[in-house]
Amino acid sequence: MEWLQQGIQRLGSDAIERLVTTDWVVEQLRAHNPDPTAGGLLGALDYAFFDSPRSLLLRLCELDDHPVHARLTLEGTQWRITAIYN
């Protein structure tokens, strides 16, 4: 999160749009299993829970191994990643 704070200070209100790119999202989701032949995202998936009919919470990697959490939200007929955090 330090890089985000520095980006906000340096880039102002456009920081999130400029720092959180598709490549960054892919990097976060692959952080614990970067080899797609070893299961990729599904190989790292440790937990999945629908906390509402339109919201899915995923945990990649076990709790004691600095997991990445992702929230997907149903928008119309498409799932969209709406949050990624450690």
Host domain of residue 27: 2-85
> Which residue has tokens 């599904």?
42
Q: What's the number of domains the chain is made of?
A: 1
In eight-state DSSP terms, residue 46 is E
Tens digits of per-residue pLDDT, 35-77? Answer: 767 777 788 889 999 999 999 999 988 888 889 899 999 999 9
> Which residue has tokens 């999202």?
25
> Which residue has tokens 């955090």?
85
Q: Are 49 and 57 in contact (CB under 8 A)?
A: yes
pLDDT of residue 6: 67
Phi, psi at 45, each rounded to 5° = -65, 120
Q: Cα Rg for the chain, rounded, in angstroms?
A: 14
Q: Are 35 and 76 in contact (CB under 8 A)?
A: no
pLDDT of residue 37: 75
pLDDT of residue 42: 80
